[in-house]
């Protein structure tokens, strides 16, 4: 029996949609409490004015709201994504929650090293995780506006950790350094002389005005590090990917060219992340 072209297209589309549905947010591996009381006490004293609330952080990690947002965002990653929330400090998972000087992230192969860590920390049945899945183990101890470990914030914290992210995304550290400090070599002549996003600079204001994610619309972005992390999150976690409104820079053609160059970097780096994060355990401190 001959299959019509329209029927064939419908079959292909249904197969693709089914494959995408099977590669999405896979769930959590339970919620665990940190037992490192000494480090937790130190971090709590330093963050006390910023909304430390371990009970609230645990409640949110278990909530239907977190699951709804996780499905919405992680469904855009083309393979299974699991989360492993660690309430309190992340020292038991090898990360330091000190916002100034700590090693705030780590990455390792999921098999066997990552599975062994998850088992040691007591997460539920990590053996059911596939070797080609991604697991994000994140520490959380706050519920303040800037510290609530939403799925988006968890991903943002990964891109705040330049030394770790470089393993997944070659060139990420240099791009971040240029945006924040203007002192790195970037192979894009349109980008280098035009966008140095130091805190509250005119260039930063121009770029932020073109961005469309909630943090930009609500005036919560100050400098280059936040801008880059939020652009990466929008590209990776939303169906539409990175969306930029160039209307505000119509009278600034050089700035528009620079932002377009930055967007190209973000899309390339997001593709690197999708490719290289599969089969990994990423540990990140969101506090």
In angstroms, the CA 155 to CA 59 distance is: 19
Tell me: do 49 and 124 sit in the same domain. Answer: yes
Query: Residues 177-219: pLDDT tens digits?
Result: 777 776 656 565 545 444 666 666 788 888 899 999 999 999 8
Total-model pTM? 0.85
Please check whether residue 77 lies inside any domain of the structure.
yes
CA atoms within 13 A on the CB side of 108: 16
Tell me: do 215 and 251 sit in the same domain. Answer: yes
N-to-C CA span, the chain: 61
The residue among 254, 195, 266 whose CA lies nearest residue 229 is 266
Tell me: do 190 and 94 sit in the same domain. Answer: no
In angstroms, the CA 125 to CA 17 distance is: 28
Tell me: do 147 and 194 sit in the same domain. Answer: no
Please check whether residue 157 lies inside any domain of the structure.
yes
Tell me: do 147 and 75 sit in the same domain. Answer: yes
Tell me: do 78 and 161 sit in the same domain. Answer: yes
Tell me: do 100 and 239 sit in the same domain. Answer: no
Peptide bond connecting 112 to the previous residue in cis, omega within 30 degrees of 0: yes
Tell me: do 39 and 133 sit in the same domain. Answer: yes
In angstroms, the CA 280 to CA 117 distance is: 12
Please check whether residue 44 lies inside any domain of the structure.
yes
11: pLDDT strictly greater than 90 = no
Proportion of the chain above pLDDT 70, given as a percent: 78
Tell me: do 222 and 262 sit in the same domain. Answer: yes
Q: pLDDT value at position 18?
A: 47
Q: pLDDT value at position 234?
A: 98
Tell me: do 150 and 37 sit in the same domain. Answer: yes
**Secondary structure in 3-state letters for 106-137:** EEEEHHHHHHHHHHHCCCCCHHHCCCCCEEEE
Tell me: do 218 and 104 sit in the same domain. Answer: no
Counting the structural domains of the chain, the total is 2
Tell me: do 281 and 141 sit in the same domain. Answer: yes
User: Domain span at residue 133?
Assistant: 26-165+277-285
In angstroms, the CA 27 to CA 197 distance is: 36
């Amino acid at each position: 029996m001959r299959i019509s072209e329209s029927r064939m297209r419908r079959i292909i589309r249904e197969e693709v949609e089914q494959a995408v549905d099977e590669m999405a947010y896979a769930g959590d591996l339970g919620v665990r409490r940190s037992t490192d009381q000494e480090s937790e006490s130190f971090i709590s004293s330093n963050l006390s004015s910023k909304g430390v609330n371990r009970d609230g952080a645990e409640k949110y990690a278990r909530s239907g709201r977190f699951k709804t947002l996780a499905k919405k965002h992680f469904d855009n990653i083309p393979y299974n994504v699991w989360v492993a929330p660690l309430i309190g400090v992340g020292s038991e998972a090898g990360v330091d929650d000190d916002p100034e000087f700590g090693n705030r992230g780590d990455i390792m192969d999921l098999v066997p090293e990552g599975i062994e860590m998850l088992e040691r920390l007591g997460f539920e049945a990590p053996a059911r995780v596939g070797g080609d899945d991604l697991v994000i183990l994140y520490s959380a101890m706050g519920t303040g506006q800037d510290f609530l470990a939403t799925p988006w914030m968890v991903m943002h914290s990964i891109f705040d950790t330049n030394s770790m992210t470089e393993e997944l995304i070659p060139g990420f550290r240099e791009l971040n350094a240029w945006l924040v400090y203007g002192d790195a070599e970037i192979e894009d002549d349109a980008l280098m002389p035009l966008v140095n996003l130091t805190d509250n600079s005119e260039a930063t204001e121009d770029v932020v005005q073109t961005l469309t994610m909630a943090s930009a619309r609500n005036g919560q972005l100050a400098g280059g590090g936040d801008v880059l992390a939020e652009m990466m999150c929008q590209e990776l976690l939303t169906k539409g990917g990175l969306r930029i409104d160039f209307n505000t820079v119509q009278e600034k053609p050089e700035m528009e060219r620079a932002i377009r160059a930055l967007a190209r970097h973000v899309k390339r780096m997001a593709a690197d992340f999708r490719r290289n994060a599969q089969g990994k355990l990423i540990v990140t401190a969101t506090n």
